[in-house]
Amino acid sequence: MMRARLASDLRTIRTLAVRSFAETIQSLGIYVALSIIVLSVSLTLLVYQDILATDYVLVLSNPFSLALVVAAVMFSIYLGALSCISIAKEKETGTLFILCAGPVNQVNFILGHLVAQLLTFLFMTGVLLVDFFLMAQLTQFYFSVRVLLGLLYAVFAVSAISLLGAFLAVLTGRVRAGVLAFIVVLLVGIALQILDSFLYNPDLRNVDANLFFIGRAVHAMNAVLQWLSPFAHLLNGFQALAIQNWSLVWLNGLASILFACLFLFLTIRVMETRGVRPE
Amino acid sequence: MNAPRRLWFLFAFLFMAGCVPGTPGLPKSDAVPEYVYTGSIFDGIQYGAVLSPAEQDTLYLLADTVNAVVVKRTEVYFWEITQEYKADWEKLNQPLDGTLEIYQGNHLFQKLERQSQVLVRQYDSQLFKEIVFGPDALQRFQAYQNDIQRYRKDYENHVKAQQQYSEELWDRYQNPDKYRNVPLRKEPDLPPPLHEFVSEVALTYPLSLPVGSFTMRVVDSNGRAVPGSEKKLKTIQPRRKGISYVVYTEHRWTNQKTSREPEEVIYVGAADSLFLQPFVQHEYYADDYLNLTEPQKKHAPLDDWMWVDIHPLSGEKLQTRDAKNHPGERDLIPFQVQQLPGPKLGYLIVPVDPNRPESTPSFSAYKIDLARETVSAIGIIDQHSLRGGADRQIRRIANVNPLVLILPVGITLSLGLIAVSLRKVRANEPLPERKKNGHRCS
């Protein structure tokens, strides 16, 4: 009985995932996101070529590291927004209600979406790896296995951010509000990070006492955010990978997994509490 | 304002207040008598003077190295210009007698008494690299004083001999016939210079501890802790050790790049020759190391690691490998940078001629002649084996047309347009046909 139910659930998840994935790769959005990432790879290598033309010598541990960070952040933003839009749209248009009237339940629906997001991530990673490999062959810049490791490592943070998008979608129940909430969460994180880098300077104590206190407050908030934000886990994980600090790599990966589980739980709870009818 | 709203404001205010970790202490402008820790601490490169006033709660040291500290009572004032606490030694300079107790947690780890101590450096160097304690320190200082006396005597004799030599020269000039068959004797040599400098003898505690956190204090002859002499102590050690290379080409020798990590690749553009200057380097946690070397300098907490060049490498050979993995070796060679003669700007980098004493080296480096050889990897041979942390890849980069590099962007966008077009075409297909092809969900 249990086995039959599990098999049925898996079939449902697979059907939902394939449906969602097919829809994604037939839309222009994914190719625009990929183009931006590919452009960042090309521009980075062009800049390095220019530096070599003037300085004759350049020392780099990983010429693709900047592109890797851009790619991971773009993947996360794109997949988070995609998750938010598609789930909110399903709820807004009533498709979710129709699906749940059949053999689909809330858990299957969210897991189906998550699997679709992971498939999309793997598709984008595949395209990007081909680009990295071609660029490395063309320019002779060294393509390190660490780039591949970094891309695979990003899957934890991408899952967490994707589920954050799903959570905001079910919480708001509307596409516009969901996307807006997702953007606000992203911008607050980025703004705090930028403000922290400018304002957390002990020398400010001698310039402006008020600014110094604001700097300390922003730093404290950012320190909290470093533990809460999947983006921070992603970037800290990359740094740990660069210096081969494996315990820190696993710690950040584990934090992302915990956040993914938390957002998954919250999303399902909100769906159960609020129901799946269009609001 | 209603009650819940007021509560929210109160909560926000408390949160902001909690984020601000206290008002920073106003700098002191008046001198205050207090106990300070001072002495000579080793930073991996040399011994430097340290002043740790009461305002600084922790003293940082390198683990498993010998350092010299002493507690003194002095007047401490804040110097606004450099934002540092300074000691007015002239006004008050009173060493604190007693035993230095070092605790690890509540466990008494070490008890130290003050000993005679000197610092030693080579005469041609400014870096104190050796510290000597106890009777050896007194012997070393005495030997240095004897050397100075000997050198003074030798120099006086040299001045006298030089004077006689000058007089003889003048006499030769005045009476050439007198010296017609007498050969000119050799000009007197300068006495051999002193080879080392030894500092004045000081009474300090020899502090050498393993990695960890400690507390220390001075207890007087009655076994009572002297109030104000407590200080935290943190000892640090390098996380990694390796070799750094300062890399430059003959075209732009002023534009130097440093390669610190073994994973780094040295990319070379259109240059004919490459110079690699090797250094022994240690990697420390940046915040700890800066607290050790610049304890009073305010810096933002750095959650990062930093490499520190300890000393230049000398004597070891560079192993090279070409694209086919054939090994080769080369020595570290002293080079001199020479300005081009004439009005034309430019310079030449040439090996130092050992037969010309006036030819002083500008730097010592391994040279790779890229015009005549292909080198794809390097390492340092240390006693017949390759030294860890010294491997690097070298890659020559040819310029690729920017349009070729941008091409993948166009391909990706084209793929997107094709996917969207196909979707539209399939959406316009008649429904029964789609059912027949099995594309529609049941």
Name the residue in chain A with its Cα closest to that of B274: A57
- The answer to whether residues B268 and B216 touch, using CB atoms and an 8 Å cutoff, is no
CB-CB: which of B261, B268, B419 is closest to A26? B419
The ipTM assigned to this model is: 0.82
User: How many domains does chain A fold into?
Assistant: 1
Q: Where does A140-245 have alpha helices with state H?
A: 145-172, 175-199, 209-228, 230-242
- The β-bridge partners of B311 are B280
Distance CA B232, CA B102 (A): 9
What was the pLDDT predicted at A59? 92
Q: Is residue A129 part of a domain?
A: yes
Q: With CB atoms and an 8 Å threshold, state whether A39 touches B409.
A: yes
Distance CA A44, CA A55 (A): 16
The mean per-residue pLDDT over the stretch A153-162 comes to 89
CB-CB: which of B263, B265, B419 is closest to A25? B419
Asked if the model's pLDDT at residue A27 lies above 60, the reply is yes
Distance CA A226, CA B249 (A): 42
Q: Distances in Å between the alpha carbon of A190 and those of A76, A163, B103, B175, B304?
A: 14, 19, 44, 92, 21
What was the pLDDT predicted at B27? 46
pLDDT in tens, B332-363: 999 988 888 888 778 888 888 888 777 788 88
Q: With CB atoms and an 8 Å threshold, state whether A32 touches B416.
A: yes
CB-CB: which of B269, B408, B420 is closest to A52? B269
Nearest to residue B234, comparing CAs of B289, B152, B181? B289
Nearest-neighbour CA in chain B from A23: distance (Å): 9
**Residue A103: which residues within 8 A CB-CB, separation 6 or more?**
A8, A12
Identify the segments of chain B with pLDDT beneath 50: 1, 18-28, 438-442
Residues of B in Cβ contact (< 8 Å) with A217: 16, 19-20
Q: Is residue A279 part of a domain?
A: no
What was the pLDDT predicted at B20? 47
What was the pLDDT predicted at B270? 82
The mean per-residue pLDDT over the stretch A164-191 comes to 87
Residues of A in Cβ contact (< 8 Å) with B441: 15, 19
Q: Is residue A120 part of a domain?
A: yes
Nearest-neighbour CA in chain B from A197: distance (Å): 10
Name the residue in chain B with its Cα closest to that of A28: B416
Domain extent, residue A211, equals 2-274
What was the pLDDT predicted at A271? 87
Q: With CB atoms and an 8 Å threshold, state whether B269 touches A134.
A: no
Share of chain A above pLDDT 90, in %: 26
CB-CB: which of B400, B409, B417 is closest to A138? B400
pTM confidence score = 0.75
Q: With CB atoms and an 8 Å threshold, state whether B419 touches A59.
A: no
Residues of A in Cβ contact (< 8 Å) with B79: none
Q: Which residue of A48, A49, A59 is the best one to mutate when testing the B interface, meaning the one whose CB has the most B CBs within 10 A?
A: A59
Name the residue in chain A with its Cα closest to that of B268: A57
Q: Is residue A180 part of a domain?
A: yes
- The chain-wide mean pLDDT, for chain A, equals 86
What was the pLDDT predicted at B158? 95
- The answer to whether residues B233 and B58 touch, using CB atoms and an 8 Å cutoff, is yes
Asked if the model's pLDDT at residue A152 lies above 70, the reply is yes
Q: With CB atoms and an 8 Å threshold, state whether B257 touches A201.
A: no
Nearest to residue B40, comparing CAs of B136, B128, B112, B139? B128
Distance CA B367, CA B68 (A): 41
What was the pLDDT predicted at B15? 57
Q: Is residue A133 part of a domain?
A: yes
A to B CB pairs, distance under 8 Å:
146
CB-CB: which of B24, B393, B419 is closest to A142? B393
